[in-house]
Amino acid sequence: MMDYHLLVSLARLRPRPILRLLVAGAACVGLVSCGGGGSSATPAPVVPAQPTVSIAAAPAAVVAGQALTLTWGAQNSSATSCDASGAWSGQVATSGTRAVTPAAAGSITYTITCGAVANSVTVNVTAAPVATDNRLAISVDTGPSAATGALNVPFVSVTVCRPGTAVCQTIDHVMLDTGSYGLRLLVPLDAGLGLPAVAAPAGGAVGECAQFIDGFAWGSVVQADVRLAGELAPAQSIQAIGIAPGGVATIPAACTGVGRNLGTVAALGANGILGVGMLRQDCGSACVNTAVAATYYACAGAACTATRMPLAQQVSNPVTAFAADNNGVLVTLPAVGANGVAVLAGTLTFGIGTQANNTIAGETRYVANASGNFTTLYKGRSMTASFIDSGSNGLYFNDASLTACSFSTGFYCPLSPVTLSATNSAYDGSATGVVTFTLTNVDGIGAAISAVSVGGNNGSANSSGANAFDWGLPFFFGRRVFVGFEGSPGGAYWAY
């Protein structure tokens, strides 16, 4: 059984009065003189109004490629037409409106000339945002060369760089895990990377113990710029598995009590783990003011001591640090037949509803609780700690009526493919839906097969196994599965 579900969880102006100038000694006002004996006053000459032309743009600021409307008009003019110049051209009527679309960024001027009179309006045009390449390839295959026989493990490639530099290394076959949070890489990392170590609040280098259902990973916490496709998460804390923090080689005893050490490629079956689950940090507020055992350690001299850790220094889901496309992810994999396939190609898309390629369409949202769980009803049993986990290589649940495998311990081996169903419900009861799935006999799978729908017993490896249905990688086959992150609009949820 392979299961990497992380255990920790915003005066008007008054009108002015009309003032009449009173001339000293004047007894009356008007065009007729006052007093006797005088002749009538000479009328003032009539001055003809001067011709003018107006032009306005709405809106006054746009993005390149966005339309705006020009409105113009000539007043007191004998002109029968006007000439457009500047960012537009041609002969136009003496008044009217026209929609125009500036194509490039800058201060764009539109001029109108009617007879001998001209006027202009300037529009501020900003560059259109460039859609980021927010898609990362997923490959389900038999794993890196240092491991053998990976089954139902989704891999991606990750690039890490010394913060603020172009000194980088790309690492392939990093496991994609929707059940954990943060980037964890196995050695060897290039020594030339020079990734700086994270310091504990009271001093010493930070080490971390990441406990999974299937074992533990111990190593130093360092900082790196994380690049995924066209996205950048700057200066992220990541775990360098296998690097002794502060030179302390001894792993704290509290770290080792959950199973085997996953500190090698052979044991992990991957070159690292990319945790893109719905929580932001791997420990969160619990570790800010309290030293939580088997989590973060300050290492100096010959010992490591449990330490508190500020949120900003915790190992975190790097997607949440993107400038955009940071509210969730979408995992897409094609359907897989009963006999399985040798290689399966899919896509990890960053963001939800931020670009045309990551919009929720016909999928249903299942709100999760603070631990990322919802409820699954299977054969009359309600399991309220259920979750969706691409890092689990099977569908794990307890069913004594299914035949256990004799060779592949922990898996079910039905004599022929069996189709079952369960009902998932949102944690808040806002959505319910039936899921149909098929299980194949894992003992009959050839060594070249890397993706197939299999399942196993959840009780012995998961402390909450009796209350959890672990929807592992086979759940993703033939589906678009969204993971909405906590703290984002819509909160934490699954959608499929």
**Beta strands across the sheet bearing 418-425:** 432-439, 418-425, 374-378, 381-388, 470-471, 395-396, 455-456
What is the structure's pLDDT at 148? 76
Q: Which residues pair with 264 in a beta bridge?
A: none
Query: Which residues, 6+ apart, have CB-to-CB distance to 38 below 8 Å?
Result: none
Q: What is the pLDDT of residue 42?
A: 65
d(CA 213, CA 4): 6
Q: Are 260 and 168 in contact (CB under 8 A)?
A: no
Q: Is 495 exposed, middle or buried (0-12, 13-18, 19+ CB in 10 A)?
A: buried
User: Does residue 277 contact residue 180 with C-beta atoms inside 8 Å?
Assistant: yes
- Domain layout of the chain by residue ranges: 52-126, 135-495
Q: Is 400 exposed, middle or buried (0-12, 13-18, 19+ CB in 10 A)?
A: exposed
Residues of the chain with pLDDT under 70: 1-44, 128-131, 460-465
What pLDDT is stored for residue 12 in this prediction? 22
Radius of gyration of the chain (CA): 35
Residues forming a β-bridge with 123: 108
Provide the 3-class DSSP secondary structure of residue 272: strand
What are the E-state strand segments in 245-293? 260-261, 272-276
Positive or negative: CA dihedral 348, 353, 359, 362: positive
The answer regarding whether domain 52-126 maps to CATH 1.10.760.10 reads no
Structure tokens given for 83: 């000439």
> Which of these, 248, 190, 192, 184, lies nearest to 222 by C-alpha position?
184
Strand ranges for 334-464 from DSSP E: 344-350, 365-367, 374-378, 381-388, 395-396, 418-425, 432-439, 455-456
The residues, any chain, with a CB within 8 Å of residue 233's CB and separated by 6 or more, are 225, 226, 227, 318, 319, 320, 321, 322
Q: What is the rounded CA–CA span in Å between residue 363 and residue 360?
A: 6
Residue 294 confidence (pLDDT):
95
pLDDT tens track for 120-179: 999 998 876 666 799 999 999 999 987 777 899 999 999 999 999 999 999 999 999 999
Reading the block at residue 405, the tokens are 């495998």
Q: Which residues, 6 or more positions from 10, have their beta carbon under 8 angstroms from its beta carbon? A: none
Residue 320, SS3 per DSSP: helix
- Residue-level pLDDT at 7: 44
370 CB-contact burial (10 Å; exposed 0-12 / middle 13-18 / buried 19+): exposed
State whether residue 268 is helix, strand or coil. Answer: helix
Contact 461, 454 (CB under 8 A): no
